[in-house]
Amino acid sequence: MKRRISFTAMVAMTALGVAACGGSSAGNSATGGTPTAGSSSSSMGHFNGASFTILGQWTGAEQQAFQSVLDSFDKATGASGQYSAAAGGDEASVLGAKVNGGNPPDVAFVSLPGALEQYAKAGKLIALNSAAQQAVSSNYSNEWVTLGSYNGKVYGVPFDASNKSTVWYNTKLFSNAGISTPPADWTSFIKDAQTLHDSGVRTPISVGGGDGWTLTDWFENVYLRTAGTDMYDKLTKHQIKWTDPSVTKALTTLKQVWGDRNLVGSPSSALKVPFTGSVDNTFKANATSGIVYEASFVATTITGDKLPAKVGETAKFFPFPAINGSQPTLEAAGDFAVAFSNKPVVQAFLQYVASPEAAKALVSSAGSGFISANKNLQTSAYPDATLGQLAQQLVSVGDNFRFDMSDQEPSAFGGTPNKGEWADLQSFLGNGNVSAAQSKLERDAAAAG
Amino acid sequence: MSDRRRHGPRGGAPGEKRWFAWLFLAPALVMVLAILVYPLIYSIVRSLFSDTPTGAVKSFVGLHNYHAVFADNRSLQAVKNNVYWIVVVPTLITILGLVFAVLTERIRWSAVFKTVLFMPMAISALASGITFSLIYADQPTRGLGNAIAIGVHDTFSASHPYPSVQPRDTTVFVGSAKTGYTTRQKYSAGTPVLLPLVGLNLTKPPSSTAQAVAPTSGTGVVGVVWNDFRLGGGGQLGAVDTGERGLGGIPVQAIQDGKVVATTTASSNGQFSFSSLTSGSYGLRLPPSAFGQPFNGFSWLGPSLITPAIMSVYLWIYAGFAMVLIAAGMAAIPRDALEAARVDGATEWQVFRRITAPLLTPVLLVVFVTLAINVLKVFDVVYVLQQVAGGSAGVADVLAVTLFRDFGNQQYGLASAIGVLLVVLVVPAMILNIRRFRRDQT
């Protein structure tokens, strides 16, 4: 998901941040003394007085979590990093303006691998030195390293991540309907949703079709499972057309759920439900839905919106179901730290960012909902079991995951409300016309370049 | 020195001390150059270049960006919407303003009336948009629009007892909620008929339902219509189990040769009987009156109503503005002309048509042209209401919104092209207005 999405999403984010702030004070004091001493700090070197600037998109509890990472680096090295959040949460535009204006920050956290590639291509980025590169490849699986690379050089350090293959469900409604184990494959997913419907749940699956990005995530999860990772990569780079039979298959599969009024209600209502609304529908008192698909940040939305459900107790998740025996796979998203300047302290910072210590400082701050794909981070570092499970799944798939496709496409196609892929999938949700959707997607993808 | 004093405080003759005038003009001039002229020229230049995905200048593309505005279906939709706006809104607002101005002249408390009508102008368009986003909300508990629509509708038509209930599959019934459900089989007296349905809200079952009981015997065709699902699941499909509730109040029709021959109603344990049907076999039908979806009001921000809905908000904001300007114009009309006409026996309509309207034309034109310029640039109301419109928001796009969006996507070339286009479209209206001002001055 991109944070620059829309007004409503931004309001939701703000609300979320504010709400999360209140509960996170306990976690912060604990992270002040995160273990950074010993071997790691000595290898980090000393940069007394060296200052550098960092641009990111985090505010509220997320900013506090990041600040704790920065603080421990500053403490160990004597450097002073200045973090600022991009105005309006629109990091891509703010960063673009700064770079094009010749005034880039020393370090930026980018959520779009495509942007990383563009800046690297334009020669704006400084590649990681061997120590930092070493830190990245020893702590992250190859796929993450590749995502941060351009032309054989590593530029980006993976930092926070989200697990976008999680289906959240209301345990109370499941037990009302007599469903004891969550579905593992697509067929039983549909069957269980139908059972929910029979048990009187009006809209078993709440699809947040009001926000186009939730639909791209649905599609990407289905495509990843019906077409496989290789095709996924090709479609991401638009090396195959959207009119490809593999897309037909994925959309047809998706239609088994989206096209069934018993499962998702009427398309015109689904198209009005924003992401936060879909979470509310599923976890409010007198919930009207039992299932909502979205990423790990659904957990933060549940606590942030003060919904009555308890994450890990009455709000649980299961992995996005396998389709026709597909291998365990996962869709992920996340931020990468990149360097725009060649100050030595910047390389040291990036090296630190790649370390399990930094990941620990990041995730142990309660309320942020951050998880990390760092494979050397113990799941016990997470403040609650659900976050631990989310991260564990992310790490355990190794290289068999893929980064959010729409986050890798040009934003005019994959990242804009009422435009491109978002709008095309919305009209597909509305009318269920597979071939029309494919030709629209192909036309828009081609137009966005 | 003495020279200047003799000329008095007005300074020198024309042509003299021009630098002095320029000195006072300079700050304004600098502002105009810096934030109007320079950006305008830069936008024109920028609109001829394409962008890299991160917003840097890529290459010279000539008029391609302008072509793209019209080639892309969605921005073409925005162009069309701008046309609708310009055709409909200024005219409607001017007419409304005129009507209000004429009518408020003839009532008591006209100042109060005018103030109330003018008030929306004092509210920011953003706030108005948010207010109306609530009025247009789907749920009648939130949205005034649908609260009224549903209230009126339900006064005139009855609601259905079991909107969510339906057959589990097609083994027993065929049909839909709209046509009602008819059994595949025919039944005769003797064996109790089982009519299973599902979908009842189990956590809050309506009071018309109770534990279902399968009838064991009875005169004529007897049976049970019940919700074949119990809280917590389990139970046998197609059999009445403990915890499953009868659907009391559902009408059941007996059908023979396509005609309804008898009708009865299920009791709260689900049982029904046709004691008169002792011989022959009958199909059974559950008529649609039991299942129809409740009327949910209108989808104000759905694809078909969204643009008119947003236009209404704009109307609400600007009708008062037009009224005040037109009322001021009317106040300037010489009273004696009106009175002379009335004395001569002209009707009110004739007075309006022959005297008021012609004398008001210049004012009406000013109002119209000002509105046309504003409407062309419309952004805030549309943008705010689009945020709550979900998937159909794109239908309401106008050029200014697409400009904003393309700018956000760092497609500065395309955004500049739209900006330049808007300027070009505003220019004729501007020229018209400026000429009128000049004429008025001379």
A135 vs B351 pLDDT, higher one: A135
DSSP secondary structure code for residue B195 in this structure: E
Query: pLDDT tens across B317-326, in order?
Result: 999 999 999 9
pLDDT of residue B278: 85
Tell if the CB–CB gap between A200 and B203 is shorter than 8 Å.
Answer: yes
Q: Testing the interface with B: which of A5, A199, A439 to mutate, by most B Cβ within 10 A? A: A199
Chain B: residue nearest A265 by CA? Answer: B164
Residues 6+ apart with CB under 8 A from B382: B310, B396, B397, B398, B400, B401
CB atoms within 10 A of CB B273: 21
According to DSSP, the residues that pair with B210 across neighbouring strands are B246
Rounded mean pLDDT, B328-349 = 88
pLDDT of residue B6: 47
Q: Which fold has domain A7-163+332-403?
A: D-Maltodextrin-Binding Protein; domain 2 (3.40.190)
What is the distance, to the nearest Å, from the Cα of residue B182 to the centroid of all Cα atoms in its chain? 39
- Between CA A277 and CA A305 the distance in angstroms is 10
pLDDT of residue A139: 96
Helix axes B306-331, B357-376, angle to 10 degrees: 140
pLDDT of residue B13: 57
What is the distance, to the nearest Å, from the Cα of residue A392 to the centroid of all Cα atoms in its chain? 15
Q: What is the DSSP string of B204-267?
A: S--TTEEE-------SSEEEEEEE---TTS-S-TTS--TT-EEETT-EEEEEETTEEEEEEE--
Residues of chain B contacting A449 with CB distance shorter than 8 Å: 53
Task: Measure CB to CB from residue B54 to each of A99, A179, A195 and give the nearest one.
Answer: A99
Query: pLDDT tens across B236-261, in order?
Result: 888 899 999 999 989 999 999 889 99
Which residue is it, tokens 């890990």? A312
pLDDT of residue B433: 83
Would the pLDDT of A210 be above 50?
yes
Domains and CATH numbers, chain B: 45-148+299-441 (1.10.3720.10), 173-290 (no CATH)
pLDDT of residue A43: 62
pLDDT of residue A44: 74
pLDDT of residue A29: 36
Would the pLDDT of B360 be above 60?
yes
Would the pLDDT of A347 be above 90?
yes
Tell if the CB–CB gap between B391 and A178 is shorter than 8 Å.
Answer: no
A82 half-sphere exposure, CB direction, 13 A CA radius: 7
Chain A: residue nearest B303 by CA? Answer: A268
According to DSSP, the residues that pair with B227 across neighbouring strands are B197
For residues B61, B67, B69, B73, the Cα torsion angle rounded to the nearest 10 degrees is: -130
Residues of chain B contacting A174 with CB distance shorter than 8 Å: none
Q: Testing the interface with A: which of B164, B409, B412 to mutate, by most A Cβ within 10 A? A: B409
- Chain B: give the shortest CA distance to residue A61, in Å: 25
- Chain A: give the shortest CA distance to residue B275, in Å: 32
Give the model's confidence band at B269: pLDDT under 50 very low, under 70 low, under 90 confident, else very high: very high
CA–CA–CA angle A322, A323, A329 (5° rounding) = 45
Give me the helices (H) in A24-129, please: 25-31, 39-44, 60-77, 91-100, 113-121
For chain B, list residues whose CB is within 8 angstroms of any CB belonging to chain A.
Answer: 52-56, 68, 72, 74, 138, 164, 168, 198-204, 227, 229, 231-234, 299, 301-302, 383-384, 386-394, 397, 405-406, 408-411
Give the model's confidence band at B442: pLDDT under 50 very low, under 70 low, under 90 confident, else very high: low
According to DSSP, the residues that pair with B285 across neighbouring strands are B182, B253
Helix (H) or strand (E) holding B72: none
Nearest C-alpha neighbor of A430 from the set A259, A288, A293, A247:
A259
Residues of chain B contacting A447 with CB distance shorter than 8 Å: 68, 72
Rounded mean pLDDT, B281-303 = 86
pLDDT of residue A373: 94
Query: pLDDT tens across A227-275, in order?
Result: 999 999 999 999 999 999 999 999 999 999 999 999 999 888 899 899 9
| Least confidently predicted of A346-350, B50-54, B145-149, B251-255 | B50-54
- pTM, rounded to two decimals: 0.84
Please tell me whether the interface predicted TM-score (ipTM) of this complex is above 0.90.
no
Would the pLDDT of B172 be above 80?
yes
Query: pLDDT tens across B43-77, in order?
Result: 999 999 998 877 888 899 999 999 999 988 888 99
DSSP secondary structure code for residue B123 in this structure: S
Query: pLDDT tens across A39-90, in order?
Result: 444 467 888 889 999 999 998 889 999 999 999 999 999 999 999 998 776 7
B163 vs B403 pLDDT, higher one: B403
Which residue is it, tokens 């959309």? A251
pLDDT of residue B4: 45
Residues of chain B contacting A274 with CB distance shorter than 8 Å: 390
B158 vs B282 pLDDT, higher one: B282
Rounded mean pLDDT, A424-432 = 94
Q: Taking the alpha carbons of A180, A184, A190, A193 in that order, is the dihedral positive or negative?
A: positive
For residues B75, B80, B86, B87, the Cα torsion angle rounded to the nearest 10 degrees is: 180
Rounded mean pLDDT, A219-223 = 97
Would the pLDDT of A16 be above 60?
no
Please report, as a single letter, which amino acid is at residue A127.
Answer: A
**With respect to CATH, is domain A166-328+409-448 assigned 3.40.190.10?**
yes
pLDDT of residue B15: 60
| Percent above pLDDT 90 for chain A | 73
pLDDT of residue A30: 36
Tell if the CB–CB gap between A272 and B54 is shorter than 8 Å.
Answer: no
According to DSSP, the residues that pair with B87 across neighbouring strands are none
Characterize B179-202 residue by residue with b for buried, 16 or more Cβ atoms within 10 angstroms of its Cβ, and e for exposed.
ebbbbeeebebeebbbbbbbbbbb
- Chain B: give the shortest CA distance to residue A307, in Å: 19
Would the pLDDT of B14 be above 70?
no
- Asked if B420 and B47 touch (Cβ cutoff 8 Å), the reply is yes
End-to-end CA distance of chain A: 21
Question: Which tokens go with B286?
Answer: 């559950």
Which residue is it, tokens 């109370």? A172
Rounded mean pLDDT, B129-158 = 88
Q: Where are the domains of chain A?
A: 7-163+332-403, 166-328+409-448
A331 three-class SS: strand
Task: Measure CB to CB from residue A118 to each of B53, B383, B390 and give the nearest one.
Answer: B53
Please report, as a single letter, which amino acid is at residue B239.
Answer: A
CATH topology of A7-163+332-403 equal to that of A166-328+409-448?
yes
Mean pLDDT estimate for chain A: 88
Rounded mean pLDDT, B383-409 = 90
Nearest C-alpha neighbor of B120 from the set B111, B131, B109:
B131
Give the model's confidence band at A370: pLDDT under 50 very low, under 70 low, under 90 confident, else very high: very high
Chain A: residue nearest B68 by CA? Answer: A447
Would the pLDDT of A142 be above 70?
yes
Q: What is the DSSP string of A353-409?
A: HTSHHHHHHHHTSTTS--EE--TTS-GGGSSSHHHHHHHHHHHHTTT-EEE-HHHHS
Rounded mean pLDDT, A425-434 = 94
- Between CA B8 and CA B236 the distance in angstroms is 107
For residues B312, B316, B322, B324, the Cα torsion angle rounded to the nearest 10 degrees is: 170
Question: Which tokens go with B267?
Answer: 């009791």
Give the model's confidence band at B229: pLDDT under 50 very low, under 70 low, under 90 confident, else very high: very high
pLDDT of residue A10: 39
